[in-house]
Amino acid sequence: RPICPDGRPTMLTKFESKSARVKGLAFHPVRPWICASLHNGVIQLWDYRVGTVIDRFEEHEGPVRGVDFHLTEPLIVSGGDDYKIKVWDYKLRRCLFTLLGHLDYIRTVQFHPNASQFPWILSASDDQTLRLWDFQKRTCLSVLTGHNHYVMCAAFHPAEDLIVSASLDQTVRVWDTSGLRKKQSGEPAGPPPDPSLKGARAVGAAAALNVQAELFGTNDVVVKYVLEGHDRGVNWAAFHPTLPLLASAADDRQVKLWRMSETKAWEVDTLRGHANNVSCCLFHPKHDLVVSNSEDRSIRVWDVSKRVGVQTFRREGDRFWILAAHRSQNLLAAGHDSGMIVFKLERERPAAARGPGDKLYYVRGRELFCHDYAQATAGTSGVDIPIATIRRVGQQAQTDGIGSAPRFLTYNQHNPTEGNVIVCSEVDGGAYELITFSLSDASGSVTDGKRGACMGPAVFLGKNRFAVLDRHQRQVVVKNLNNETTKRVQSPVPNVDALLDGGASGRVLLRADDRVVLFEVQSRRVLGEIAAPKIKSAVWSPDGSKVALLCKYGVVIADRQLEQMCSISDTVRIKSGAWDVSPTGGTASELFIYTTLHHVKYCLPSGDTGTIRTLDQPLYAQRVVKDQMFCLDREARAKVISIDTTEARFKLALALKRYGQVMHMVRHSRLCGRAIVAYLQKKGFPEVALHFVREPKTRFRLALACGNIEAAMECAFTLEQQQEAEGSSKGNVWGELGSEALRQGNHQVVEMSYQRTKDFDRLSFLYLLTGDTEKLRKMLKISNMRQDIMGRYHNALLLGDAAERVKVLEESGNMPLAYISAKLHNLEEDAERIKIAIETNGGSVEGLLEKVPVGSKKGGCLLQPPTPIVRSDNWPTLPVQKTTLEDLEAAEATEQNGEDGYHHEETPVEDAEDTGDKNWEDDAFEEGMGGDGDDDLGFDDDGDGGWGDDLDLGDDFGIEPAKKPVDEMADLTKMSEDATFKMPTAGRPPAACWVENSSHAADHIAAGAASSAMQLLNRQIAASDFSVLKSSMIGSYIGSMMSMPGVPGSGSLSVPLLRNDVEGHPGAESLPRTSLKMKNLVTGIRSGYRFFQGGKFNDSKNAFSSVLADIPLVVADNRNEANEMKEMLEICREYITAVRIRGAMAENATNPSRSTELCAYFTHCNLQPTHLLLALRSAMGTAFKHKNYIVAASFARRLLELPDMSSQRNADLKVKATKVLQKSEQMARNEHTLNYNENATFAIDCKDFVPIYAGDNSLKCSYCGSVYSDENMKGKVCLTCNFCVVGVDTIGLVAGS
């Protein structure tokens, strides 16, 4: 890590990479990306915020010295030692075109700052020229000649028509491009053409001018100044962004400043200090500084106004070559021999502290302000009151922008009579200044000048004393308000590097390594200790009961004794945080709001977290009141933003058991979404979700979860009507309801469920258990009507009706059994009749009764229905009073009693939001609580209950014919109203947890929930043909369980395999282990590559198709794996398309035009360089054979540009390609008309294999991304992946759980 000498602050490194020597750097204007061009020919695109490589571009041969981003379009320009300028599209991840013209190494390239109006590229080269290119027309606009040695750099002025260039001829030249601008925009420029030149003379003069322009440059761009003053070659020159200043860096180890006027330019000063060649220099975009780096392994910062060096950063062993500055942020980057670093010169967090009441004290520039929130008006957060000017101390503090600004600010909360503020900075290793002022007239009587040395922030211990950390001995030094030392206390722990507020008088937090110690200074006791990595600050709640420790990547909340309450982690840096101080609502000191780089989030002491909103720029939270967050931006400007904390307040009310407040929010807030429902179920409050969920299926599940049979029945009727309308089965809903009612002993609901599902066997058994013999006899009649032999026999057996059993056996042809049954039950007449029937048919009854032991215990006896112990409507249950969350009326009564005063909390913003809900809330809740209370639970909805035909017994049974159809089941449908019972919470099997904890199809398959897995795949990637995924799904299901043999005589045990049980059993948070991993996908990809290389295209296609089918069932362990899976998805799509095009080429071998087109499309598939080489070789041969010389030349050029062509094994191919190129350039015609434009960007239609250009209508597969131009493909299965539907807009592949 670069260090700063003489105790000065270290470089604030935000990102560091390791690579080959970095020669060119460019920041993306908006995204957190930086592009680095390397000496080994590779261009890397980095995300410096997360430290990962986004992409690599590797088509240059030799070092790449210049690179730049387009301001608005997804373009990168690069120039290298291969004399080529390449323009890349980083979204398409390929080179769009190459500009040829320079005759030597290209040093720098740059897009015009106003590239939307002027599509220009500026390049500087060792051929002693600068060139201006039009990248839209792909032509050279102007050649700038004048330098007589290598041109090391060239740059546009940010706002004016100027170019600066630096050369090894020891000069800096400033060029005027206004003539070219006027020429390109159509304005008259230069002298008019000579009217005397006509005809051939005019043509000859024009040709001569073109030759002259190529050799000596044009007069469109003219030299305005030539700056001479360096003693050796100049390596770099740069414009000031706003002032008429120039900076130049040269091999004479000097940095020179130049000033320009309309007519001349002159040297202002020389900055000396580097010990070797100065490689690069630039003006800081926000401060009056020049930054330069050198081959002496240092970066130096110079004060432009004082013209002296103010800071030096050194790096051991690496020479620096290039510098870059971000356009809008305070970021710099430097490239060196072994990589690059992205860094800042100072921190941008404003120094601020909460004061008494509604006041905030902060520093802007060198001024201390008091911001009064109490005086806020519409559109403003309050009024700024200036208090004092902070003096500059030490040499370093005389220059802004290098870390001399105040870093910490502490306000004395213990002194109610006057204001005391300590401002700390990192100048000279750490310093503080004590400022005292009157609270009544803040700017009237200010006392300052009390200064001293310290390490980190200072802390007030009481009304008239404060503590600082001695940076040499690491002691806690206690001082009074006269800045006199009163006590020195040795730290109880070593390596203390900062003091933080202790939350109460006499207490202080000591930060040491990755822990914090709560220390009482007076008694020198350690009161508590907590571990937290990379702690930055501590924020105490208004009542002092809790503290939030802000870490670099997390928040730890503890109580006042430093006992941890919860800990959360984040993937991006935490910037600031503040506790809610709302006077009503019960959220004060319970809700913590914190900000990251781009989000506002919340955290509760229970550990619940969530995201509230996004941010365009980082903000630093200072105060939270209701739905407003007061904050400071990086310029220390006070702002107020609106936030919606409804979700946080809802979770907090649940955690604190404020059920009246919970139900108020259920009725008056917009709480919805699966996340809230899942949260309520996870926390054991499904009855809350039941109040606001209206979707019948979800509501049915919730009602079952909380044992609410009435609500479940209501939903079951609704679902039944929907399923009848759709023509689907209705048994599953009533079956689940019956199972839950059986668990609660509500046999009348069980009876109705069995009736709805026509589950006759269970219904008969239920009547047997309840002792309802009359209904059991009716079940016998029903089974007789249905001609159900087994049903009749079972019902007769349950009734103890021996004659009926004999009759059933006789009618079913079981004569021997009928005879035995009749004899055993002394039915002699029936036995005699059956005996005659048996003998008539040639049988005999002799010996039949010998097989039945009569008169012994093993002998048969007549079974009679058991007498029930209790005859009642339902089985006896213990009455359980409804909880507040179940009983809405009770909750409303509690709410009206004014619990927590929550109903007074609504802000005008919330009122405005609620007005849209007034029209439906009351009606919805009446429906949800059974407002339609007269719903008949019988089976009269369809007139005859659905069973009327079975019960139409007619005259055959001697029953009087009815005047109208009689429902024999009418007596079975009576239900009691006292079915109130709440079952205790039961445990859940692992498979049920897996489905709830994950939204990944693989986890649902592992749990055996194939239907929900297929629904997920259909919603996420529009999968429809699951036969392709069958083997992968079965493998995921089988691989999630392990069978373990049990004790002898018992079955095997199925043991779930978990993937998150490393640190112990996860309980309800468990997730299954899946059989498919990333390594399976990598193996499949490699197999596809190997088959493709060997020309086994069908095998290659099968390998890539197999990977496509496996990807949806692979669970990524982290974000990198998820990104790799999406890259593999693109690889499979490209290679399958390539193989299909290859097959089409074979089919169209006799059609020269079509085969050439297909060869061309084949080369535009995103293949590996070695495979692209084979594709280009084949396409070049096919096009040349069919005499399509223009495209053959194009293929030959692309082939020669590939990096692999420089290897010895491709020497023969290189010679052949060169000959084809020469021959094609001579012929320069296509024999056939081709539907192919090599200069345009296009996608390939995966059905017809034709190009689809930008702007053309097309459809996409939501999974693999295959593109189709045929509108008829909408709703059909994709031809690439073979299982997803084309033209459906979905969320796409979900890689993680």
Query: CA 742 to CA 950: how far, in whole Å?
Result: 27
Structure confidence by residue, pLDDT tens digits, 1182-1211: 989 888 888 899 889 888 888 888 888 888
Which residue is associated with the tokens 């003091």?
A: 499
More confident residue, 1079 or 825: 1079
Q: Is 341 helix (H, G, I), strand (E, B) or coil?
A: strand
Indicate if the pLDDT at residue 844 is higher than 90.
no
Which residue is associated with the tokens 């030349």?
A: 1193
Q: What is the pLDDT of residue 794?
A: 83
Give 966-999 as a DSSP string: --TTGGGG---S-----PPPPP--HHHHHHHH--
Query: CA 1021 to CA 306: how far, in whole Å?
Result: 62
Indicate if the pLDDT at residue 925 is higher than 50.
no
The gap from C-alpha 690 to its chain's centroid, in whole angstroms, comes to 30
User: What phi and psi values does residue 331 have, to the nearest 5 degrees?
Assistant: -125, 140
pLDDT average, residue stretch 729-746: 71
Q: What is the pLDDT of residue 897?
A: 44
Q: Is 290 helix (H, G, I), strand (E, B) or coil?
A: strand
Indicate if the pLDDT at residue 707 is higher than 60.
yes
In the chain, the percentage of residues whose pLDDT exceeds 70 is: 80
Q: What is the pLDDT of residue 955?
A: 37
Q: Which residues contact 71 (CB under 8 A, 6 or more apart)?
A: 29, 111, 113, 114, 115, 116
Minimum mean pLDDT range among 28-32, 487-491, 830-834 = 830-834
Structure confidence by residue, pLDDT tens digits, 1125-1143: 889 999 999 999 999 999 9
Which residue is associated with the tokens 């072994």?
A: 338
Q: Which residues contact 349 (CB under 8 A, 6 or more apart)?
A: 407, 575, 576, 620, 634
Structure confidence by residue, pLDDT tens digits, 568-598: 998 888 999 999 888 877 788 889 999 998 8
Q: Which residues contact 925 (CB under 8 A, 6 or more apart)?
A: 667, 691, 888, 931
Indicate if the pLDDT at residue 926 is higher than 60.
no
Angle subtended at Cα 251 by Cα 315 and Cα 284, rounded to the nearest 5 degrees: 60
Query: CA 1235 to CA 428: how far, in whole Å?
Result: 70
* Residue 1094 burial (CB count, 10 A): 10
Query: CA 1278 to CA 1292: how far, in whole Å?
Result: 15
Structure tokens at 525: 């006791």
Give the H/E segment covering residue 132. Answer: strand 129-134
User: What phi and psi values does residue 268 have, to the nearest 5 degrees?
Assistant: -95, -50
Tell me which amino acid residue 346 is. Answer: E
Q: What is the pLDDT of residue 773?
A: 78
Query: CA 627 to CA 640: how far, in whole Å?
Result: 10
Minimum mean pLDDT range among 368-377, 424-433, 785-794, 887-896 = 887-896
User: What phi and psi values does residue 599 have, to the nearest 5 degrees?
Assistant: -140, 155
More confident residue, 67 or 806: 67
pLDDT average, residue stretch 856-870: 65
pLDDT average, residue stretch 845-858: 68
| Confidence tier at 900 by pLDDT (50, 70, 90) | very low
Query: CA 78 to CA 1100: how far, in whole Å?
Result: 35
Structure tokens at 371: 């911001």
Q: What is the pLDDT of residue 942?
A: 40
- Beta strand segments in 161-203, E: 162-167, 171-176
pLDDT average, residue stretch 1078-1087: 91
Alpha-carbon torsion, ordered 1128, 1134, 1138, 1144, to 10 deg: 120
Q: What is the pLDDT of residue 111?
A: 95
More confident residue, 757 or 919: 757
Q: What is the pLDDT of residue 883?
A: 53
Q: Is 632 helix (H, G, I), strand (E, B) or coil?
A: strand
Q: Is the Cβ–Cβ distance between 16 and 339 less than 8 Å?
A: yes
Q: What is the pLDDT of residue 375?
A: 76
Highest mean pLDDT among 244-248, 642-646, 802-806, 908-912: 244-248
Query: CA 322 to CA 107: how far, in whole Å?
Result: 11
Mean of per-residue pLDDT scores for the chain: 81
Query: CA 315 to CA 326: how far, in whole Å?
Result: 22
Q: How many residues does the chain have?
A: 1297
Query: CA 315 to CA 2: how far, in whole Å?
Result: 5
Indicate if the pLDDT at residue 781 is higher than 90.
no
Q: What is the pLDDT of residue 797?
A: 81
Indicate if the pLDDT at residue 931 is higher than 70.
no
Minimum mean pLDDT range among 6-20, 319-333, 1023-1037 = 6-20
Query: CA 506 to CA 494: how far, in whole Å?
Result: 21
| Confidence tier at 442 by pLDDT (50, 70, 90) | low
Minimum mean pLDDT range among 94-103, 359-368, 874-883, 911-920 = 911-920
Q: What is the pLDDT of residue 959?
A: 36
Q: Is 660 helix (H, G, I), strand (E, B) or coil?
A: helix
User: What phi and psi values does residue 1267 have, to the nearest 5 degrees?
Assistant: -110, 140
Q: Is the Cβ–Cβ distance between 405 and 393 less than 8 Å?
A: no
Alpha-carbon torsion, ordered 1152, 1157, 1162, 1166, to 10 deg: 170
Structure confidence by residue, pLDDT tens digits, 154-185: 999 999 999 999 999 999 999 999 889 888 87
Query: CA 1075 to CA 408: how far, in whole Å?
Result: 53
Q: How many Cα atoms sit within 13 Å of 480 on the Cβ side?
A: 3
Q: What is the pLDDT of residue 753?
A: 76
Minimum mean pLDDT range among 2-6, 13-17, 285-289 = 2-6
Sheet containing strand 418-425, edge to edge, reads 408-411, 418-425, 431-438, 446-453
Which residue is associated with the tokens 């695109």?
A: 45
Angle subtended at Cα 517 by Cα 515 and Cα 519, rounded to the nearest 5 degrees: 165
Indicate if the pLDDT at residue 213 is higher than 60.
no
In the chain, the percentage of residues whose pLDDT exceeds 90 is: 29
CA 821 vs CA 380, 781, 803, 842, 1201: distances in Å: 97, 21, 9, 20, 96
Q: What is the pLDDT of residue 1106?
A: 93
| Confidence tier at 980 by pLDDT (50, 70, 90) | very low
Query: CA 735 to CA 758: how far, in whole Å?
Result: 10
